[in-house]
Amino acid sequence: MSKELLDKVNKRRTFAIISHPDAGKTTITEQLLLFGGVIRSAGTVKARKTGHYATSDWMEIEKQRGISVTSSVMQFEYQGKRINILDTPGHQDFSEDTYRTLMAVDSAVMVIDTAKGIEPQTKKLFKVVKQRGIPIFTFMNKLDRDGRPPLDLIAELEDLLGIEGIAMNWPIGSGQTLKGLYDIANNQVEFYHQDGQDRFVALDENGQLPDSEPLSSDPQFGETLDEITLIKEAGNKFDLAKIAKGEQTPVFFGSALTNFGVETFLKSFVNLAPAPESHQVNGNETLEPDDSEFSGFVFKIQANMNPHHRDRIAFVRIGSGEFKKGLDVTLARTDKPIRLNGATEFMSSERVQVSDAVAGDIVGLYDTGNFQIGDSIYAGKGKIVYPSLPEFTPELFVRVTAKNVMKQKSFHKGMEQLVQEGAIQLYRNYQTDEYILGAVGQLQFEVFKFRMKNEYNSDVEMTSIGHRVARWIKPDQLDPAMANSRNLLVKDRYDQPLFLFENQFAERFFKDKYPDVELTEKL
């Protein structure tokens, strides 16, 4: 393969940011974009009164609520590297979007609130990252507020997540007493509330500040030195091989809100994080990223990113080769040829036409309905199929109808397009054809209702049918007379039949009554 393509691939750094809601994930994304020169000022997601919103929260409901409900993709150049950030929703109701996104990255940044430590959603998402064996970098955030002792936070990584933490820097105080960061990796101190290069002061060969620095005689600095000595002698030893396998995580402290410690983190990250690596395709074949033939997979579909154009974007992670405008590819699912004319990259909320994209990059393809989540596309004669992406079986269900019968066209269009994004599943009653929506969490229904009204001008009425246990049944084993109020019979969007059981007792009763019928959790 050409050295030119390999050089381009090796400059890519593609990662997701994961965290529990409100740990500061979107804020740190903003600061990274700032250093990448993509935006001039960073806004926090909560800044609703000023009308200054986080750049990565482009959807109207995200601006109103101050939360991320969809994965954002942003790209920029930094120190000769091409950075692809995927900012994922922290809210557990949107974890399916996050899980799929984690299939499209080469590493992950885990953001932890220093006051709260490891929270449930962080633990859940970490498990997915760990299963993939990809490198994990940890940013202990909100150091500008009073938090837990840093030694406790490092210990918690091992106790709760089973991963070694290796401190790259160490806080000198926290909250009101925060003075700076002791940068172990670069042998310097980074002072809090100082701008420019003046905020860095080099340490001597013994790790001490010059006597001329007032902080050198501060008791708080003395405490920090004692903790540094302890972690150097008794703590984990830096091991790049362990980091590469996701067994050890470099830990950085800082405050995204005050932009403290973020640049130091970014510089270390681009040097330590991996370039795109090989993928397993076609079951058990290994596909190298610098393979000459282009290939990739769709991990996300998003409708109405531009509300003025009612467009639909399929997000593709390039797994091998190079993308060029007008490229002819084959859609593996249908063997249908497609010419990729319209493709875009994302510089924060701005979009630019793709000029040069290689393995590791994320491109957005304008889609008229060809693509589904999980689709593989490839150029060349040899078929390439990437592994399937995770799917969640819904647990909450609602009946949905249009409030205005005169607006059926926009109602059906909105239903079709939003369901194709994959966050909500669409079912129809087997007998009456009425629409039923299924989701992992309640917030997804609220977002769906909001978007139907604001993006499709269609008010919808939702009636909860509560928690249900979804189980598919083979068509040849189905008798519609099996259905009743406790096991609702519906069709999924592929017209496959399934029962929505009122609870597990109803499911067991059904199995006892029809012992030869096979029920499955997924198709």
Asked if 322 and 357 count as a contact pair (C-beta separation under 8 A), the reply is yes
Q: How far apart are CA 321 and CA 176, in angstroms?
A: 51
Tokens of 213: 């620095």
Count CA atoms within 13 Å of residue 228 on its CB side: 22
Q: How far apart are CA 345 and CA 329, in angstroms?
A: 19
Measured in degrees and rounded to the nearest 5, phi and psi for residue 106 equal -105, -15
Give pTM, 2 decimals. Answer: 0.77
3-state secondary structure 187-231: CEEEECCCCHHHHEEECCCCCCCCCCCHHHHCHHHHHHHHHHHHH
b/e 391-429 (16+ beta carbons within 10 angstroms → b): ebebebbbebebeeeeeeebbebbbebbbbbbbbbbbeb
Q: How far apart are CA 404 and CA 459, in angstroms?
A: 7
Measured in degrees and rounded to the nearest 5, phi and psi for residue 19 equal -175, 170
**Residues in a beta bridge with 85:** 15, 74
Asked if 16 and 88 count as a contact pair (C-beta separation under 8 A), the reply is yes
pLDDT of the chain, 523 residues: tens digit per residue? 578 899 999 999 999 988 887 788 778 888 888 887 766 544 443 333 334 444 444 344 344 433 333 446 788 889 999 999 887 664 454 556 777 888 899 999 999 999 999 988 788 888 888 888 899 999 999 999 999 999 999 999 999 999 999 999 999 998 889 999 999 999 999 999 777 668 899 999 888 998 888 888 899 999 999 999 999 888 889 999 999 999 999 999 999 999 999 999 999 999 999 999 999 999 889 999 999 999 999 988 776 555 555 567 888 999 999 998 889 999 999 999 999 877 776 554 556 667 679 999 998 888 877 888 889 999 988 999 999 887 777 888 999 988 887 778 888 888 887 777 666 789 999 988 899 998 877 777 877 888 788 878 888 899 999 899 999 999 999 999 999 989 999 999 889 999 999 999 999 999 999 999 999 987 6
Q: How far apart are CA 347 and CA 55, in angstroms?
A: 10
Asked if 89 and 69 count as a contact pair (C-beta separation under 8 A), the reply is yes
